[in-house]
Structure 1
Amino acid sequence: MLEPGPQLLEPNPATDLLTGDVPVSDQEWRERYLTGVHNLSADCIKVVDRHGRLQSMNLRGQEAMQVDDYSACHGADWLSFWEGEARDAMLEAFAVASRGTPSQFTGFCPTMRGEPRWWDVTLTPLPDPVRPAAPYDVIVVSRDVTDRVQAQQALEALNASLAAEVARQTAALRQEKQLLVQTNEELENITYAMSHDLLTPVRHLLSFARLARQTTDTGKRDRYLGIIEGSAANLSGMIDGVMRFSRAGRCALRVQPVDLNELHADVQRELHPTAAHATWTASPLPTVPGDPQALRSVLKILCSNALKYTRNTPDPQLHVSAHHDPHARTWRIDVQDNGAGFDPDYAHKLFRLFQRLHHQNEFEGTGTGLALIRRVVTRHGGTVHATGQPGQGATFSFTLPE
């Protein structure tokens, strides 16, 4: 025969829980028990009537909400405690619970002293036995999840910061890669120039020096010596251009806010003696981050070229303008002229070292200025571009981050 197992001991409803000898009714005992559990709960437990008025709040809940005097809160509009984004979620959840279905939401609601708190809120309908068909009162259980939410926010902020840093590093690596590719290309150009372009004036020097030594005609000797002098000057200019080109890639940029209006005005004053024949206009220019001296050299070279290639134009015109691209967050600076222009099929050669689309006898130059511009602008995170038509002028553009 099986022995009876252990039995769960239930409190005697006829005995007081504290003294053990004061009889209490079953209903009173249950009310005391529920009240004890209610007040001991770490959650904020409230009863809100069907109109949203606060009917009760447990003691731990009053502490959590920093309620100094509950009598001042009793009957208050609980719905008005919620503001901002959390209010819509609260109203929807309250409407669902009022119709008899439990609901839940998470939202921000400060304490009575204004301290920030986030809550996980569960709303459960409380039926009215007298009027079962009426809208329900609601039991609201709010659990303080401030630490969890703040930790989540801190994590999201950290992730955003890390993502921004990764994006910044990626952009920096991309720019470094672009600079390396351009540097390799420039080194190839310099190597080609040293073996071809720079040898041309050297050959002229040697050839005409030999002719000058052999001739007895004074007139021819003077002409040969003039050619030698011109070739030497051209060679000197090309070497100087290579040196400036090399320095433009090695010098540290002193980046600061640069007012391009001031740079343009300074360049215009410097070039004024050579610009007396031209109509020179400009629209307002932006302030951009960059090295003032480097950007001044870019504007000077482009404006000098525009003046040079319009000198045979009956009504030479030069216009400097700026255009903002809000999506790319860049400024494009255009230097436009109505001069000699160029064949657009060869535009890709313009920004290479010693590449010229006009003969030296037409327009002097060493072919290093535009290559220098490309190097400076690229180091500033920008790009260069040129458009034109023979006899219809040209527009040289460069972009800079805003």
Structure 2
Amino acid sequence: MTHTKPGSPAAPNGEERASPPTAEAPTSPAEPAPGFLQQVHDLSADCIKVVDAQGRLKSMNRRGQEAMQVDDLSLCLGSDWRLFWQGEAEQAMHSAFEAARAGRPAQFRGFCPTLKGEARWWDVTIAPLDTETGDLIVMSRDITAQMEAQRQLAELNTHLEQEVQRRTRALGQERRQLQQLNEDLQALTYSISHDLRTPVRHVQSFLRLANVHRADATRQQRYLEIAERSAGQLASMIDSVLQLTRIGRVELRRQLVDLNAVLRSVRVELQAEQGDRTVLWDAPDLPTVYGDGALLQVALKVMCANALKFTRPVAEPRIELRARRLDGAWQLEVRDNGVGFEPTYTHKLFGLFRRLHRPDDFEGLGAGLAVLRRIAQRHGGEVGAHGTVGGGATFTLTLPDPEEEL
């Protein structure tokens, strides 16, 4: 008698039925062999290191050794990897290291030279590797070429920005020069239309009168003298116009100019105008400024001659020169205790052939201050004036100081 195993179905003919074959459980893919991982590890272009929880170096791949110029890895194993980072990168490295120890991957960039002192920049990623041992994996990518390209680009951008600023300043200066030339042209046009016509008419009128009164020798002589003075005035006015336009065209020869030496030269030139008068000159040490020496001598002569002329009626004439530093400029002041002027008409002082006093009281054409203003404009500076009737006057010349701008 045939017995079946419990739970085994019997065959129809009473024989035992064979159990169907059971399906085998699916197998998982084979894990890479350690030798394969080591090969990938060594072939990586990045510098790959394993450090323990205290930052001590445990391993470094072959390409990493080449990048860090390590000749003998055994000498580096066990050293604190964190000590390689100094300066600005040190704090970023510590922050990333602590994040990785806490289980979070972190990244930073920093400068770290090779063992042979070659400068290198690295993009570093730190991540947990083994939670049981606390080991970390450190992957450093050499970005020195990228950082150098960024540095060169930054230098190029800085150079371009400086060049743009330089050209902007040059264009601004050219625009100001064109404006000044236009102002000069307008002043010249006005002078030809109005100021220069006056002495021309005088010459014509008095020559005509002299011709009419030929029989009266005395009267004829007086008319000819008036015509001669008018012709002389016309010549002086033409010279003033030419001087003004010449200052606008001459090329500036900028250099360091000692104003003390300029003042000494100017006082020698003005000795004849001072005459026998005793004039008190109060001029403490003046600065050295940057500008065209010849034009600055003309400017200082105009300011001092103006002070000498308008202190003529004063019993004890006094002329003071002061210089003070402003924001990016030197300001030179010439102050006198002369007759002064009405402040309401200050705006007319620096116009060509503009006068605030009668010719019978003070000689001159009213061209000196226009020349002073033009010289200041050529230097990128400005002029100013203030005064009161009977209370003296102060004229200022402001010149940019390149050293202050730097």
- Amino acid in the other structure paired with 2:394: A
Asked if 1 retains the 8 angstrom alpha-carbon contact of 2:381 and 2:397, the reply is: no
Distance 1:208 1:269 in 2: 39
1:77-96 to 2 correspondences below 5 Å: 77-96=80-99
Structure 2 vs 1, CA of residues 239 and 155 (structure 1 numbering), >3 Å: closer, same or farther? Answer: same
- Amino acid in the other structure paired with 1:204: H
* Displacement after TM superposition at 1:273 (Å): 4.9
* Displacement after TM superposition at 1:138 (Å): 3.3
| More moved, 190-199 vs 389-398 | 389-398
Aligned twin of 1:124: 127
Aligned twin of 1:133: none
Asked which structure has the greater CA Rg, the reply is 2
Asked if 1 retains the 8 angstrom alpha-carbon contact of 2:55 and 2:82, the reply is: yes
* Displacement after TM superposition at 1:64 (Å): 1.1
Asked if 1 retains the 8 angstrom alpha-carbon contact of 2:303 and 2:395, the reply is: no
Asked if 2 retains the 8 angstrom alpha-carbon contact of 1:377 and 1:400, the reply is: no
Matched, 1:70 2:69: no
1:173-252 to 2 correspondences below 5 Å: 173-213=171-211, 223-252=222-251
Matched, 1:395 2:395: yes
DSSP 3-state at the match of 1:125: strand
Which of the numbers 81, 91, 110 marks the counterpart of 1:107? Answer: 110
* Displacement after TM superposition at 1:199 (Å): 1.4
Distance 2:316 2:103 in 1: 86
Structure 2 vs 1, CA of residues 52 and 311 (structure 1 numbering), >3 Å: closer, same or farther? Answer: farther
- Amino acid in the other structure paired with 1:82: W
| More moved, 244-253 vs 187-196 | 244-253
Aligned twin of 1:254: 253
Identity %: 50
Structure 2 vs 1, CA of residues 85 and 304 (structure 1 numbering), >3 Å: closer, same or farther? Answer: farther
Q: Deviations over 1:29-68 (max 9, x none)?
A: 32x3332222221111223333343333222112112223
Structure 2 vs 1, CA of residues 103 and 397 (structure 1 numbering), >3 Å: closer, same or farther? Answer: same
For the aligned residues, what is the CA RMSD?
A: 2.8
Asked if 1 retains the 8 angstrom alpha-carbon contact of 2:311 and 2:317, the reply is: yes
Distance 1:79 1:315 in 2: 82
DSSP 3-state at the match of 2:180: helix
* Displacement after TM superposition at 1:150 (Å): 1.2
Structure 2 vs 1, CA of residues 166 and 94 (structure 1 numbering), >3 Å: closer, same or farther? Answer: same
* Displacement after TM superposition at 1:171 (Å): 1.4
Q: Deviations over 1:351-383 (max 9, x none)?
A: 221122222222211222222222222222222
Aligned twin of 2:375: 376
Asked if 2 retains the 8 angstrom alpha-carbon contact of 1:324 and 1:330, the reply is: yes
Structure 2 vs 1, CA of residues 34 and 354 (structure 1 numbering), >3 Å: closer, same or farther? Answer: same
DSSP 3-state at the match of 1:147: helix
DSSP 3-state at the match of 1:105: strand
- Amino acid in the other structure paired with 2:306: N
- Amino acid in the other structure paired with 1:239: I
Distance 1:277 1:264 in 2: 17
* Displacement after TM superposition at 1:172 (Å): 1.1
Could you state the TM-score of these two structures normalised by the residue count of structure 1?
0.83
Could you state the TM-score of these two structures normalised by the residue count of structure 2?
0.82
Asked if 1 retains the 8 angstrom alpha-carbon contact of 2:49 and 2:58, the reply is: yes
1:323-402 to 2 correspondences below 5 Å: 323-326=324-327, 329-392=328-391, 393-402=393-402
Aligned residue pair count: 373
Aligned twin of 1:23: none
Asked if 2 retains the 8 angstrom alpha-carbon contact of 1:288 and 1:401, the reply is: yes
Q: Deviations over 1:132-179 (max 9, x none)?
A: xxxx55322111111111111111211221111111111111111111
Asked if 2 retains the 8 angstrom alpha-carbon contact of 1:208 and 1:228, the reply is: yes
DSSP 3-state at the match of 1:92: helix
* Displacement after TM superposition at 1:239 (Å): 1.0
Q: Deviations over 1:163-203 (max 9, x none)?
A: 11111111111111111112112111111111111112222
DSSP 3-state at the match of 1:397: strand
Distance 1:320 1:74 in 2: 77
